[in-house]
């Protein structure tokens, strides 16, 4: 399911402790401290938050950095955990010999192989994954292919329409 709107308005309406993993690439200029506070409320304690970012987020107390990987074009994949408790899954290291590298594109989608790594190493069948900056729905598509539930939030209605179409097409590919 994808909601159209500002994630800072919509996230407070999502049930607390309902999300197993967050996989997202926030746009430049977003107040990450506010986003991470809103994400922390909805993420289960043993969950994982993956952030693909140009730079390093300033983390409020409580977050633990699991791992940071340079994936090209100055972008780094951050694996964060909301407590210092052991996460539900211990993610295998990212294999950069596969096609994980960021490419430039009008819609700035996350590389599919990178999202697949996040989905398969930090969630299991039926888990609920959130992307609060869902764009054209890469995280949603990979979730549908791997049997994970998906909640997306996106401010741009054009991108929401594209994401819904891409996710529907990938569901059809899995089902047929």
Residues that bind ligand SAM (CB under 6 A): 6-8, 25, 27, 107-110, 133, 135-138, 153-156, 159
What span, in angstroms and rounded, lies between the C-alpha atoms of 128 and 149? 5
19-24 sheet: strands from edge to edge = 2-4, 149-154, 128-131, 19-24, 43-54, 75-81, 64-72
Closer residue to ligand SAM, CB minimum distance, 87 or 137: 137
Least distance in Å: CB of 38 to ligand SAM? 10
Closest residue to ligand SAM: CB criterion: 135
Unique residue bearing structure tokens 């590389």: 111
Least distance in Å: CB of 27 to ligand SAM? 4
What span, in angstroms and rounded, lies between the C-alpha atoms of 42 and 37? 9
Least distance in Å: CB of 18 to ligand SAM? 18
Closer residue to ligand SAM, CB minimum distance, 83 or 149: 149
DSSP conformation class of 12: G
């Amino acid at each position: 399911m994808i909601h159209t709107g500002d994630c800072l308005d919509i996230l407070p309406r999502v049930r607390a402790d309902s999300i197993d993993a967050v996989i997202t690439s926030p746009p430049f200029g977003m107040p990450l401290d506010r986003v991470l506070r809103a994400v922390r409320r909805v993420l289960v304690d043993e969950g994982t938050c993956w952030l693909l970012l140009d730079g390093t987020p300033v983390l409020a107390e409580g977050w633990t950095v699991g791992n940071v990987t340079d994936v090209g074009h100055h972008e780094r994949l951050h694996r964060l955990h909301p407590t210092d408790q052991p996460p539900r899954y211990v993610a295998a290291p990212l294999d950069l010999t596969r096609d994980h590298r960021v490419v430039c594109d009008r819609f700035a989608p996350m590389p599919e192989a990178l999202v697949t790594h996040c989905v398969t190493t930090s969630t299991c069948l039926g888990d609920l994954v959130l992307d609060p900056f869902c764009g054209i729905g890469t995280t949603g598509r990979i979730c549908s292919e791997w049997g994970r539930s998906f909640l997306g939030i996106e401010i741009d209605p054009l991108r929401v329409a594209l994401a819904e179409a891409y996710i529907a097409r990938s569901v059809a590919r899995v089902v047929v």
